[in-house]
Structure 1
Amino acid sequence: MSEQRSLPVPDGLAGERLDAAISRLFGLSRTRAAEMIGAGDVLVDGTAAAKSDRVHAGAWLDVTLPPPPTAPVPVAEPVPGMRVLHEDDDIVVVDKPIGVAAHPTVGWNGPTVLGGLLGSGHRVATSGAAERQGIVHRLDANTSGVMVVAKSEGAYSWLKRAFKERTVEKRYHALVQGHPDPLRGTVDAPIDRHPSGDGRFAVVAGGKPSVTHYDTVEAFRAASLLDIRLETGRTHQIRVHMAALRHPCVGDLLYGADPTLAARLGVTRQWLHAVSLAFEHPATGEWVQFTSDYPADLDTALNAVRGES
Structure 2
Amino acid sequence: MDHIEHVVSTEEDQMRVDRVAAGLSEEWSRAQVQGWIKEGLVKVNGQAVKSNYKCAEGDELLIEIPEPEPLDVEAEEMPLDIYYEDADVLVVNKPRGMVVHPAPGHLTGTLVNGLMAHCKDLSGINGVMRPGIVHRIDKDTSGLLMVAKNDLAHERLVQQLVDKSVTRKYQAIVHGIIPHDHGTIDAPIGRDPKDRQSMTIVNGGKEAVTHFRVLDRFKDFTLVECVLETGRTHQIRVHMKYIGYPLAGDPKYGPRKTLNIDGQALHAGVLGFVHPRTEEYMEFEAPAPEDFKQLLKLLSKSN
Question: Considering the TM-score relative to the shorter chain, is it more than 0.5?
Answer: yes
**Which letter maps to 2:287?**
D
Q: Are the structure 2 counterparts of residues 190 and 95 from structure 1 closer, same or farther at C-alpha, using a change threshold of 3 Å? A: same
Quick one: distance in 2 between partners of 1:190 and 1:201?
A: 10
Q: After superposition, where does 1:68-107 map in structure 2 within 5 Å?
A: 73-80=72-79, 82-107=80-105
The answer for unaligned runs of 5 or more in structure 1 is: 1-25, 28-69
Quick one: distance in 2 between partners of 1:73 and 1:144?
A: 26
Q: TM-score, normalised by structure 1?
A: 0.72
Quick one: distance in 2 between partners of 1:108 and 1:274?
A: 23
**Which letter maps to 1:151?**
K
Q: Are the structure 2 counterparts of residues 233 and 125 from structure 1 closer, same or farther at C-alpha, using a change threshold of 3 Å? A: same
More helix by share: 1
Question: Where does structure 1 differ by over 3 angstroms across 4 or more consecutive aligned residues?
Answer: 70-73
Q: SS state of the match for residue 261, structure 1? A: coil
Post-superposition shift, 1:191? 0.5
The answer as to whether partners of 2:125 and 2:131 remain within 8 angstroms in 1 is yes
Post-superposition shift, 1:127? 2.1
Post-superposition shift, 1:75? 2.7
**Which letter maps to 2:78?**
V
Aligned to 1:260: 257
**Which letter maps to 2:300?**
R
Quick one: distance in 2 between partners of 1:238 and 1:202?
A: 11
Q: After superposition, where does 1:210-229 map in structure 2 within 5 Å?
A: 210-229=208-227
The answer for unaligned runs of 5 or more in structure 2 is: 1-29, 32-68
1:289 to 283, 286, 301: 283
Quick one: distance in 2 between partners of 1:72 and 1:269?
A: 30
Q: Are the structure 2 counterparts of residues 227 and 199 from structure 1 closer, same or farther at C-alpha, using a change threshold of 3 Å? A: same
Post-superposition shift, 1:252? 0.6
1:305 to 278, 299, 302: 299
Question: Which is further off, 290-299 or 86-95?
Answer: 290-299
Aligned to 2:63: none
Quick one: distance in 2 between partners of 1:198 and 1:298?
A: 29
Q: After superposition, where does 1:1-309 map in structure 2 within 5 Å?
A: 73-80=72-79, 82-257=80-255, 259-262=256-259, 266-309=260-303
The answer as to whether partners of 2:71 and 2:127 remain within 8 angstroms in 1 is no
Quick one: distance in 1 between partners of 2:224 and 2:174?
A: 7
Question: Which is further off, 114-123 or 148-157?
Answer: 114-123
Quick one: distance in 2 between partners of 1:163 and 1:120?
A: 25
Quick one: distance in 1 between partners of 2:220 and 2:74?
A: 41
Quick one: distance in 2 between partners of 1:102 and 1:167?
A: 22
Q: Are the structure 2 counterparts of residues 74 and 302 from structure 1 closer, same or farther at C-alpha, using a change threshold of 3 Å? A: farther
Q: TM-score, normalised by structure 2?
A: 0.74
Aligned length: 237
**Which letter maps to 1:125?**
S
Post-superposition shift, 1:109? 4.3
Quick one: distance in 2 between partners of 1:128 and 1:71?
A: 11
Q: Are the structure 2 counterparts of residues 250 and 149 from structure 1 closer, same or farther at C-alpha, using a change threshold of 3 Å? A: same
The answer as to whether partners of 1:71 and 1:106 remain within 8 angstroms in 2 is no
**Which letter maps to 2:137?**
L
Q: Are the structure 2 counterparts of residues 162 and 220 from structure 1 closer, same or farther at C-alpha, using a change threshold of 3 Å? A: same
